[in-house]
Structure 1
Amino acid sequence: MSQPPDGSPNTPLLDRADVRVKHATGISGAFEAFITRVKSGDLGFLPVIVGLLIICTVFQILNPVFLSSANIANLLFDSSTIGVISLGIVCVLMVAQIDLSVGSVSGFASALVGTLWVNQGWPVLLAIVAALVIGALIGAAYAFLFNWLGMPSFVSTLSGLLAFLGLQLFLLRSTGSINLPFESPLVSFGQLLTVPNWLSYALVALAAVGVFLTDYRIQQRRRTSGLSTQPMGTVAIKALAILVGLELIVFYLNQTRGVPWMFGLFVCLVIAMNYALKQTQWGRAMTAVGGNPEAARRAGINVTRIYMSAFMICSTLAALGGVLAASRLASASQQAGTGDVNLNAIAAAVIGGTSLFGGRGSAYSALLGIIVIQAISSGLTLLDLSSSLRYMITGAVLAIAVIVDSLSRRSRMSSGRG
């Protein structure tokens, strides 16, 4: 137990001054605190992790190829495009809003890149930047309609879904698709390129060190504020478990294709977004606005700016997802962004643990949720079953995730953790 800021060992810690409340200490105490949080409805990632383990176990029993290194690598390639879009959905759900146009925006962005790059002769990098900028402007337009005209995001983004689908069809015209140069770096990035083995191991080690340093910094801040801290042994064990687990996964993937660069980009975006949501003033403001926008406004938070940032990030990531989808398919077509893209992007965020009620979520929700959805899709494909089952199973998993979210929210309210 750490000392308070004045250095007096007898001064009670600020968050443990109430002697009527039981305060756990040590590693065993941390485990007891976790059990207490689960019982009170603060489930975190536990439901999605348990669900993923069940899905993998069932499909592995039915088809031993499911957990093969090559199939997992393909699964990670396919997860990246919609996963990036889902990461943007996390932002709008955090502020209790929705964006139904992410699929159309991603398809429009892919068509725009194909038109500017292939048809107009722009440099590919400049075409990608143009698509991302337009994506940000789309989000700014949604925020303007919401903040200043009071148009619900459900209505504005539903209108955008139709409008940008029309723009996508207009750009592609009668051809219906634009083939991207197969030998280009963009297509290679989406289909072939993987992280060198030595670099993948080094990046995992760097990520584990980053987790340790972040937790250490948090404990230092709590110590200087006179709050209780976790034992450093707990912090070190957490970082070590992450290091060992990820290194084993990377080692397994490196037996065949390795870790896709596209998935590496997705993970980097998730880590950056998680840091922004958990460790910055902007992230705390996002949580506050999602929980109670009026209370956040009275606390001095610029609620209008927070909504603006959430919508802009969502549309920008939707445009980036469209670019990645084009690189994955080596073409920009009328089918890009249509079908189940919207469903999967929103479902991934919710299945991963982001609340539909706002104020609760994590960037890792997009990562875990899209892996669950792609695991279902990959498993059914290997079993040569109808795609209709994929929709039904994904819908059932989504319904279960929303039910768990509602029940856990009710439990948190009753236990005073709401």
Structure 2
Amino acid sequence: MADNTRTAPAAPTPEARPPHPGRAAARAVEGWVAVLRRKLSAGELGSLPVVLVLAAVWIVFQSLNQNFLSPRNLSNLSVDIVGTGLIAVGIVFVLLLGQLDLSVGSISGLAAAVFAVLNVNNGVPEWLALILAVLAGTAAGTVQGFSFARTRVPAFVVTLAGLLTWNGLMLYILGTSGTVNLDENGLVAKLTSYYFANDAAAYAVAAVGAGLVFLVSYQDMRRRKAVGMPHRSLRGIAVRTGVVAVIAFAAAYLLNQFQGLPLALLVFLVVVAGLDIILRHTHYGRQVYALGGGVEAARRASLRVTRVQTAVLAVSGTMAAIGGLFLASRITSVSQSSGSSVLLLNAIAAAVIGGTSLFGGRGTTWSAVLGMLVIQSIASGMAITDIHTAVQFMITGGVLFAAVVFDALSRRSQEAHGRA
């Protein structure tokens, strides 16, 4: 006789039930907190400390003067960071080797002098004088890089000699007059005075930037996943892209409230993004990071150490020359004070404050952007609140000291966890 009793369906196990939205969000937050704690204990906070410092600087100066975060001041700030920021980007490359380039200030002044004398005093077309000025910086960096790689004398010693040499050459080129005024309507002057007045330009750049962040991150995830390496999840990439998009569109909105997108800022972001891709997604970039981890190990791994070291100093010289031209554009003149020691110190400080390690092997080109934002925000805040310049140097020095201490402690923590 058949059994007609029906068995009640089994209750779903807790694992089979769909998670409650609130519970899932709580788990995600707990996961992020756990990751943050792990990174904190391992000294892997990345750019978070400098972002917090930048936010604190902006909050303090905004409370002291309501015009600090005005569209006009932020637009001027975005242009003021470009010249020294470009030089700091070159410094990042050298710091990744665990070395230091002390000649970038002198090279920037030399390039500006070459351009001014060729164009203004000798009538050479601006485009040609511009190219020759940049090539002068590249040549100076290449000479120093080859000397450093071949003699194995520390780069700071080689570039210290370069600092004196290139500064003397700049003074010789400028001659007895000492100052050359640039054409205010010329090509170089427009580098820092031209703005894209059309609102759509700033928003288009923001959209392209966010799209590139997603594309580069997604391609990196696919490559890492294919070889079984740790990688970001697609959700993490989407969140990161969303954050970048919000920041980019907010910046575009603020810039459009004044004069629009500055050409100088656009050039700066394109250069930084391009060099960041080269550093983190090319064979050359991986060699630079490898040399920062240890020169002898790199030699045994058959890396072309001399070529990479020479190329790094050449990049530093080139970026110093380009930065010098933007600085000359900002004041439309070149003088014997161009490429001063303060410029050198600010460029190095920007790279270090932004998170590039003095011990080599850790940092990105975006470190220079963040560090330069901190330094120039302090300078702008001091100017707008009528605080003495001496205080600016003391505050910047304190921030730099804190960054160096944090870098040392971070490296010590990584060594304790076997990651340095």
Aligned to 1:315: 317
Find the aligned partners of 2:205 and 2:51 in 1 and give their Cα distance.
23
Q: Is the 8 A contact 2:275 2:365 kept in 1?
A: yes
| Map of 2:55 onto structure 1 | 53
Structure-1 separation of matches of 2:92 and 2:229:
30
Residue of 184, 190, 193 corresponding to 1:191: 193
1:211-290 → structure 2 map (5 Å cutoff): 211-227=213-229, 229-290=231-292
- How is 1:148-227 mapped onto 2 (pairs within 5 angstroms)? 148-194=150-196, 196-227=198-229
For the residues of structure 2 that align with 1:228 and 1:322, how far apart are their CA atoms? 41
Cross-structure match for 1:4 = none
Asked if 2 retains the 8 angstrom alpha-carbon contact of 1:352 and 1:367, the reply is yes
| Distance in 2 of aligned mates of 1:340 and 1:138 | 20
Of the candidates 352, 375, 378, which is equivalent to residue 377 of structure 2? 375
Indicate if the aligned counterparts of 1:89 and 1:99 stay in contact, CA closer than 8 A: yes
Aligned residue number for residue 135 of structure 1: 137
1:62 matched residue in structure 2: 64
1:227 Cα offset (Å): 4.2
Displacement, 1:55?
0.6
Aligned counterparts of 1:216 and 1:26: Cα–Cα separation in 2: 21
Cα deviation for residue 57 of structure 1 reads 0.5
2:23 corresponds in structure 1 to: none
Q: Deviations 1:14-71 (Å, cap 9, x if unpaired)?
A: xxxxxxxxxxx97864653343112211120011001001111111101111111100
Please point out which of 399, 409, 417 is paired with 1:415: 417
| TM-score, length of structure 1 as denominator length | 0.91
Preserved CA contact (<8 Å) 1:136 1:316: yes
Report the Cα distance in structure 1 between the residues aligned to 2:232 and 2:318, rounded to whole angstroms.
38
Once the two structures are superposed, residues 180-222 of structure 1 have per-residue CA deviations (whole angstroms, 9 ceiling, x without a partner) of 1111132122224346321111111111111111121122223
1:343-371 C-alpha deviation (Å, 9 max, x unpaired): 10000000000001111111001100011
Q: Secondary structure at the match of 1:175?
A: coil
Superposed CA RMSD: 1.6
Aligned-partner residue type, residue 137 of structure 1: A
Segments of 5+ residues of structure 1 without an aligned counterpart are 1-24
What is the aligned-residue identity percentage? Answer: 40
Q: Distance in 2 between matches of 1:403 and 1:195?
A: 43
d(CA) in 2 for partners of 1:167, 1:228:
50
**1:343 maps to amino acid:** L
Measure the CA separation in 2 of the matches of 1:145 and 1:278: 26
TM-score, normalised on structure 2?
0.90
> Aligned in 2, Cα 1:205/1:281: closer, same or farther, shift over 3 Å?
same
- 2:44 counterpart residue number: 42
Q: Write the letter of the residue equivalent to 1:43.
A: L
Q: Structure 2: how far apart are the matches of 1:145 and 1:228? A: 39
**CA gap 1:228/1:103 in 2 versus in 1, 3 angstroms:** closer
Q: Partners of 1:229 and 1:76 in 2: how far apart?
A: 33
What amino acid maps onto 2:409 in structure 1?
A: L
Q: Tell me how far apart the structure 2 counterparts of residues 253 and 143 of structure 1 sit (CA, whole Å).
A: 39
1:387 alignment counterpart = 389
Contact 1:26–1:230 (8 Å) recurs in 2 = no
Matching residue's letter, 2:273: I
Tell me the CA shift for residue 145 of structure 1: 1.5
Q: Which runs of 5+ in 2 are unaligned?
A: 1-26
In structure 2, the partner of 1:80 is 82
Specify the alignment match of 1:400 in structure 2: 402
Give yes or no for contact 1:195–1:261 (8 Å, CA) kept in 2.
no
Kept in 2: contact 1:26–1:231 (CA 8 A) = no
Q: CA deviation at 1:223?
A: 2.8
Query: What is the rounded CA distance, in whole Å, between the counterparts of 1:194 and 1:31 in structure 2?
Result: 42
Paired with 2:109 and 2:233, the residues of 1 have a C-alpha distance of: 49
Deviation at 1:316, TM superposition (A): 0.6
Q: Secondary structure at the match of 2:180?
A: strand
1:345 corresponds to 2:347: yes
Match of 2:335 in 1: 333
Give 1:301 deviation, angstroms. Answer: 1.1
SS at match of 1:148: helix
Distance 1:195 1:104, change over 3 A: farther
- Output the CA distance in 2 between the equivalents of 1:144 and 1:224: 38
* 2:150 aligned partner, one-letter code: W
Task: Give the total of aligned pairs.
Answer: 394
- Matched with 2:358 is 356
The aligned residue for residue 99 of structure 2 is 97
8 Å CA contact retained: 2:350, 2:371:
yes
TM-superposition CA deviations, 1:236-279 (whole Å, max 9, x none): 12212211221012101211122211011111111011111111
CA distance in 2 between counterparts of 1:342 and 1:171 reads 21
**How far off its partner does 1:229 sit?**
4.5
Contact map agreement 2:86 2:323 (CA 8 A) in 1: yes
